[in-house]
Structure 1
């Protein structure tokens, strides 16, 4: 009999984690501790023999089944305890830390996550899957999930710190985004010039802060998003909208489930649709502050860049630009695009774009389903100004709210995100993704050796 079959709370003891909450808490903690001890004895994941890997996988799977059963039974009670009966608005990272403290063994600790942070994706234990289990069950609950969505619509502390200066000067410079207010329009420029605006944890953080500043600034009526001029050799001197997720960071294990994949969707992308929860600026008429948004695409909008376009009220593109969503080829799920893209382009074209990697060029008729205006690069600046001017006014704002309410009901979005939280976490550690990671690492090492 193997070690994991003797440990407390094995897979046959699911009833132990579906009893009353206190008893279930202790049973889950004991089961998780036994599995952690086993994994420690088996050594680093990358150094395990095939037999050891199989033993580790069996133990992890059995304990993960207990976490699922625990959350399926106790999700609302767990969330109530972590948020003091929903009187505290905790963001994703805050909620995950609270869960690790109050319910040991339910989600990974900061120490466990830190120990994996510098490992390549293929050499990780996969602790983030347990975060996926946790957040999927929280989001499935109408009461807990809705409360979490509201928490994620709060402005970030960084935005509140920068707001007074931005209100006064109309300018802000973050590491990957700059902001400049011109009249009643604030322009956000993505400026990761060396990586073609490929997104990582830092850019997700900066983008949320930037979106918050636009929404909270009373002098801004419309927000415009555009890519900056690149220094990358292939596009030097040209504007680029976005190359999507930073593949180097993904393959290096630096893309976080909580701080990137979930925060991106529930943070700044959702704020583009719903606005920001800000009691100081709203009244009884509405609990959020929102604004119309314009996007201008130069060169390309790949992956996450293409996902962004589905949220904007008006999209313009240069005539030589294209849009694509190659996430399936990379092995991951393209955020909420699977939920939103069909609404924009229909089911057949959505499958061609997501499943088969079809590019949509701005010059082809199908692009009109994603792009409102196409212009020669030389006149795109003027077209952007005219578009932003058309979106000013309270009637535009009221009507966009009703359009967004009809097109994307909040409970449908919440339900999608519940499934996304788990399925995206699983994709990060599936065999085909890890195989891509390994091949990428070998190719990168070969390239580096050749360069030397």
Structure 2
């Protein structure tokens, strides 16, 4: 494709997007629109989004090459959508538009993240650009690299949402949002990715462990809790974003736990292995709800207390449960997956079906001993090599990429769906 073709198509999109913005700007704010005005806004958005999708269908690789200097630069998701907004006006929301959008409650947003979803879907489903973006998200974050000397020296990093401690060759990650039952938000995603990066970067770490800490929440005071899933109150207030949470979580630290870290520092991996990966154990106390249950699907060994349970309340919340729809049938089969995802079935650790989702069920007082046994069993070079090959066979990266491409758009549409806004709004009202 010639440069002039791309420039011509980009100019036509920019002109159409500017006209659409002018029409949207003439309407009241989203929360104040009448049904008729909402219909007008929907029609305007629909028209220009069809143009964006068509533009990306035709020019995704040319656009991505422009933004990454022919794939010589690795841009993470947030950097990529910002670069797209700057280089191709009207393709993605500008920084100012997104700052305004993210300052609003979910019910008062324009839905601009849908435009980011259109863009990212096209990039991810490209067999040329998609793998490069997946690699960009597997690289260590700047924050982790800055903390690595401290962690290497002390073996401890304390963050708001996660405490990381290295002991006896084990990186012990403790989720410590004790006031909200480890409900996930963007702070937790950032802290988790930092902790996972540090565990993978530190050569003295051989195995990783993830467990929930002791809670101060009134209903579970003094008990360990794994995770209550996504923070619905934060969705309602507008604090859960497509790029900063929903996609970063899946293509960042969760994929790193499963696949490993792309570390191209001198002497890091060399010719033996492109990725630095390690075995991981998860320990579930009390419950693993929503995103907490999603996490378990990438771990090598899962231990659950006998009084705990797992659930994916996707139908209740109205959103897509991350990559669980992609992974869950591999564990429990299609019937159990549909019962959990579509009907909200709660699986208790002590019931037979839990055997497909967890490796061990032990009494709560036996959790510590079971964890140490599992960590010791996974601490070998043979385990590391074989888990790498099992993961490659179970989940080829291109299959994940194809799912992630469609997830980018479908989740953007879902978080701006009227039913989701209504549900999380009612939850926020109950919690306030």
TM-score calculated relative to the size of structure 2 = 0.97
Deviation for aligned residue 1:439: 3.4
Is structure 2 residue 107 aligned with structure 1 residue 118? no
Q: Distance in 2 between matches of 1:191 and 1:386?
A: 23
Aligned pair count?
428
Do the aligned residues in 2 keep the contact of 1:239 with 1:299 (CA within 8 Å)?
yes
| Alignment partner of 2:346 out of 351, 355, 359 | 359
Aligned residues of 2:233 and 2:424 also touching (Cα < 8 A):
no
Structure 2 equivalent of residue 335 of structure 1: 322
Match of 2:293 in 1: 306
Alignment-derived partner of residue 208 in structure 2: 223
Partner of 1:13: none
C-alpha displacement of 1:376: 1.0
Which residue number corresponds to residue 125 of structure 2?
140
Find the aligned partners of 1:384 and 1:407 in 2 and give their Cα distance.
25
* Contact 2:302-2:358 at 8 Å conserved across structures: yes
- Residue 247 (structure 2) aligned to one of 262, 283, 286: 262
1:90-139 alpha-carbon deviations (Å, 9 max, x no partner): 00001011000000110111111111222111111000000000000000
Instruction: Tell me how far apart the structure 2 counterparts of residues 398 and 183 of structure 1 sit (CA, whole Å).
Output: 21
Q: Does 1:180 align with 2:168?
A: no
Q: Which residue of 2 aligns with 1:4?
A: none
Kept in 1: contact 2:232–2:424 (CA 8 A): no
- Secondary structure, in 3 states, of the residue corresponding to 2:179? coil
Kept after mapping to 2: 8 A contact 1:106/1:130: yes
> What is aligned with 1:11?
none
Per-residue CA deviations over 1:35-80 (Å, capped at 9, x if unaligned) read 1111111121111222222111111110000000000000010000
Q: 2 CA distance for matches of 1:46 and 1:423?
A: 23
TM-score, length basis structure 1 = 0.93
1:72 is aligned, of 39, 45, 57, to 57
Whether the aligned pair in 1 keeps the contact of 2:183 and 2:227 (CA below 8 Å) is yes
Within the alignment, does 1:383 sit opposite 2:370 as a pair?
A: yes
Residues 301-327 of structure 1: CA deviation (Å, up to 9, x unaligned): 000000011100000011100000001
Q: Which moved more, 1:289-298 or 1:107-116?
A: 107-116
- Report SS of the residue matched to 2:210: strand
Distance in 2 of aligned mates of 1:232 and 1:157: 33
Any unmatched runs of 5+ in structure 2? Answer: none
Tell me which residue corresponds to 1:411.
398
In the TM superposition, structure 1's runs of 4+ consecutive aligned residues that sit over 4 Å from their partners are none
Indicate conservation of the 8 Å contact 2:289/2:312, yes or no: yes
Corresponding residue of 2:85: 100
Any idea what SS the aligned residue of 2:128 has?
Answer: helix
SS at match of 1:334: coil
Q: CA RMSD in A?
A: 1.2
Contact persistence 1:328–1:334 (CA under 8 A): no
For the pair 1:59 / 2:29, whether they are aligned, the reply is: no
Matched-pair contact (CA < 8 Å) for 1:307–1:336: yes
1:168 to 153, 171, 181: 153
Residue segments in structure 1 that go unaligned for 5+ positions in a row: 1-18
State whether structure 2 residue 33 is matched by structure 1 residue 48: yes
Q: Output the CA distance in 2 between the equivalents of 1:278 and 1:49.
A: 52
Q: CA deviation at 1:438?
A: 4.1
Partner of 1:139, secondary structure, is helix
1:85 equivalenced with 2:70 (yes/no): yes
Q: Any residues of structure 2 matched to 1:204-219 within 5 Å, and which? A: 204-219=189-204
The Cα shift of 1:86 comes to 0.4
